[in-house]
Amino acid sequence: MSGPADRRSVLRAGLLLGTGSLTAALAACSSPQEATSAARTMPAPEPSTAPSTAAGVTTTTPRPAGGSRTLLVYFSRPGENYFNGGRTDLEVGNTEVLATMITDVIECDVHRIEAAEAYSDSYDATVARNSSEQEDDARPGIANPLASLEGYDTILIGSPIWNVRPPMIMATFAQAHDFTGTTVHPFVTYAVSGLGRAERDYTAWCAGARLGEGFAARGEEVPDSTSSVRSNVEGWLRTIGLLTS
């Protein structure tokens, strides 16, 4: 952390998430990738195509000629997690739920980043691993590397916030690609930290990208159908020009 805002975020996160865990996480932040494409795609198939690899299967996604192309790429970890001061067991990670809200309303390709070495279901073990990955500035391996960003002009990049930053596996993804000519919009789910350091990290990690407006939703509220997350995320998508209705 370097700025005062970061320090405030960390202090608050420390109070709310448990200082022990956060200290461990603070003591903490890994390389190429593969594509889990739940490919929702694209109108108007044209000759240009982009292969993506999902769990050993290569799919080819039709792309519109000269049209805007959006990729949603995200990492999310189900299992034991922080929940309103306690713990909960998430069957589907909060960021995945948020990603689905987005893909419900816009057309885009989807790539879910899978860790080569899966993160533990245990919250404390994950905090400890993330702490050492942050500390080591590690680049955790990706099981399903995405071949290329070619043909995309807008990248929505999503993850939880871990110790006030995106998990280091997001750096692994980002630094394996050339973002020249793209606009990157970070989206995160968090407990107390909001976007945390996400905008600064992606600015550093996404070579050649323009950083666009990001979006943050509180993890606890994401699966709650009575919360305003869905309307907030739709508002953000309108603001950044991806949703017109």
Interacting residue ranges for ligand FMN, rule: CB under 6 A: 13, 17, 25, 76-77, 81-82, 90, 93-96, 123, 126-127, 130, 160-164, 189-193, 219
Q: Which is nearer to ligand FMN, 50 or 164 (CB)?
A: 164
Q: Which is nearer to ligand FMN, 96 or 114 (CB)?
A: 96
Instruction: Give min distance, CB of 115 to ligand FMN, in A.
Output: 11
Q: Which is nearer to ligand FMN, 185 or 197 (CB)?
A: 197
Instruction: Give min distance, CB of 242 to ligand FMN, in A.
Output: 21
Q: Which residue is nearest to ligand FMN (CB)?
A: 219
Instruction: Give min distance, CB of 25 to ligand FMN, in A.
Output: 5
Question: Identity (one letter) of the amino acid at 221?
Answer: E
Q: Which is nearer to ligand FMN, 50 or 174 (CB)?
A: 174
Give the list of residues 6+ apart from residue 86 with CB closer than 8 angstroms, or none.
none
Q: Which is nearer to ligand FMN, 7 or 238 (CB)?
A: 7
Instruction: Give min distance, CB of 241 to ligand FMN, in A.
Output: 25
Instruction: Give min distance, CB of 90 to ligand FMN, in A.
Output: 5
Instruction: Give min distance, CB of 91 to ligand FMN, in A.
Output: 10
Distance (Å, whole) CA 54 – CA 30: 20
Q: Which is nearer to ligand FMN, 64 or 194 (CB)?
A: 194
**Is residue 172 packed enough to be buried (19+ CB in 10 Å), middle (13-18) or exposed (0-12)?**
buried
